[in-house]
Structure 1
Amino acid sequence: MLATILLTIALIFVIALLAAAGAAKLARLDGASYPTALTRAAIAFTATLTLAAAIAAALAALR
């Protein structure tokens, strides 16, 4: 059980990092400066983690 939880958390972090990297790359391709691209990456990372937390809370409430 603990291993499943840890693997799920690791997977969520990897997905959040991939979303952040994609957002930063798209921002740079759009001509944004490095600070702007970093800001967009941070927003994407935070949004992904927030969405995962909201889904986890909803599933916990159902259980």
Structure 2
Amino acid sequence: MTVTVVLLATALVIVVALLAAAGAGTLARMDGATYPTALTRAATAFAAVITLAAAVTAALTTLLT
């Protein structure tokens, strides 16, 4: 049961990160950025969401154990 919850939570975080990256890339292109710049902004947003999820997980782990 625990493995299933971890896998589902990981999948959810990755989907949210991909959606944030797609939104950031789209907004950058709408703002007139070039494709490489938009891709860089999307990658930055993806990395930020993954980092935030890791930080929240670490904080919750220390609080719940």
The bucket for the TM-score relative to the shorter chain is: over 0.9
Report how far residue 45 of structure 1 moved.
0.1
Q: Which runs of 5+ in 2 are unaligned?
A: none
Q: Percent of pairs identical after alignment?
A: 63
Q: Which runs of 5+ in 1 are unaligned?
A: none
- For these two proteins, the number of residue pairs brought into alignment is 63
Matches within 5 A, 1:1-63: 1-63=2-64
Q: Over aligned residue pairs, what C-alpha RMSD do you find?
A: 0.3
Show CA shifts across 1:6-52 (max 9, x none).
00000000000000000000000000000000000000000000000
Report how far residue 58 of structure 1 moved.
0.2
TM-score with structure 2 setting the length? 0.96
- What stretches of structure 1 move > 6 A for 4+ residues in a row? none
TM-score with structure 1 setting the length? 0.99
